[in-house]
């Protein structure tokens, strides 16, 4: 598959090479096809359109050509960073920081890896691990409320809807990659406190009564006392605190 254009950023880890494609089946699949090649580390794959874009839980991810930033990057992080919760926090926080810079809007993280603005989804993230790690996401850029209504997605929003004007596609691309690169650099240098607290703050549920949906189908209800990459502390009774590993959690919500 031949890219239409290749850009280069003066970054440390992600985006030293950015390959832009007109149409691919899925940028995540494209990135994963280079997982045998250490030289492909940090390469960013972007498509105007995907014919088989994949979402979480095997769902399809569809976007009108040119309307979204459809991006995947291949990385080979050290073993201690290959935890879904850490990778998700890094990606979600980096994209949220880029959205803030582009639009002035604060995005919230909806567990595990959606970004919402005003309660509406602006970005979906899909992280897959095989030989390497592939971070892929679809960031809604220029869709209108009518576009979303027409495809049965009334609970979605875009950068254009938030800011009243469509940010330029290349500016969005560069801004997001730069924030992800800076966050990845911090993780590689061993920083945990800042990424963890940015993630916690953007989830925004500390002190609230929450429901945790577990991957095994179980549920827990209680007050969320604190959270870190090592566990969510839930007050389930007057003196009862349960610590639940992030990897066991499929959903976290305060509106139930």
Q: What are the distances in angstroms from CA 179 to CA 32, 112, 164, 225? A: 22, 20, 23, 29
Q: Which is nearer to ligand BTN, 136 or 222 (CB)?
A: 136
Q: Which is nearer to ligand BTN, 58 or 190 (CB)?
A: 58
Residues that bind ligand BTN (CB under 6 A): 26-28, 50, 53-56, 59, 61, 70-72, 114, 124-126, 136-138
Report residue 234 as tokens. 């839930």
Q: Which is nearer to ligand BTN, 129 or 228 (CB)?
A: 129
- Cα–chain center distance at 164: 23
How near is the Cβ of 88 to ligand BTN at its closest, in Å? 11
How near is the Cβ of 126 to ligand BTN at its closest, in Å? 4
Q: Is 163 helix (H, G, I), strand (E, B) or coil?
A: helix
Closest residue (Cβ) to ligand BTN?
124
Strands (DSSP E) contained in 51-167 are 68-75, 108-110, 114-117, 120-129, 133-140
Q: Do the beta carbons of residue 252 and residue 206 sit within 8 Å?
A: no
Q: Which is nearer to ligand BTN, 18 or 125 (CB)?
A: 125
Report residue 230 as tokens. 């090592």
Q: What are the distances in angstroms from CA 137 to CA 142, 214, 221, 236? A: 15, 24, 30, 35
Q: Which is nearer to ligand BTN, 181 or 234 (CB)?
A: 181
How near is the Cβ of 213 to ligand BTN at its closest, in Å? 16
Q: Which is nearer to ligand BTN, 114 or 185 (CB)?
A: 114
Tokens 């605190």 — which residue? Answer: 241
How near is the Cβ of 54 to ligand BTN at its closest, in Å? 4
How near is the Cβ of 32 to ligand BTN at its closest, in Å? 10
CB atoms within 10 A of CB 115: 25
Query: Cβ neighbours of residue 149 under 8 Å, at least 6 residues apart?
Result: none
How near is the Cβ of 192 to ligand BTN at its closest, in Å? 25
């Amino acid at each position: 598959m031949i890219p239409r254009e290749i850009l280069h950023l003066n970054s440390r880890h992600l985006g030293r090479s950015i390959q832009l494609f007109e149409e691919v089946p899925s940028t995540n699949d494209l990135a994963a096809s280079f997982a045998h090649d250490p030289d492909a580390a940090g390469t960013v794959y972007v498509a105007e359109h995907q014919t088989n874009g994949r979402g979480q839980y095997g769902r399809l991810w569809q976007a009108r050509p040119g309307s979204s930033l459809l991006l995947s990057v291949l990385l080979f992080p050290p073993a201690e960073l290959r935890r879904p919760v850490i990778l998700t926090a890094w990606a979600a926080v980096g994209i949220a920081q880029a959205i803030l810079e582009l639009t002035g809007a604060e995005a919230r993280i909806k567990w595990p890896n959606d970004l919402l603005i005003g309660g509406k989804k602006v970005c979906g993230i899909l992280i897959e691990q095989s030989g390497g790690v592939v971070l892929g996401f679809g960031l809604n850029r220029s869709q209108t409320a009518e576009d979303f209504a027409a495809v049965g997605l009334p609970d979605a929003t875009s950068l254009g809807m938030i800011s009243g004007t469509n940010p330029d596609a290349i500016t969005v691309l560069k801004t997001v990659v730069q924030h992800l690169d800076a966050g990845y650099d911090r993780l590689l240098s061993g920083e945990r406190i800042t990424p963890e607290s940015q993630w916690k703050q953007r989830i925004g549920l500390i002190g609230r009564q929450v429901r945790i949906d577990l991957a095994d189908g179980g549920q827990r209800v209680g007050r969320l006392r604190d959270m870190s990459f090592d566990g969510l502390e839930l007050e389930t009774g007057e003196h009862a605190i349960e610590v639940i590993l992030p990897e066991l959690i499929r959903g976290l919500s305060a509106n139930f």
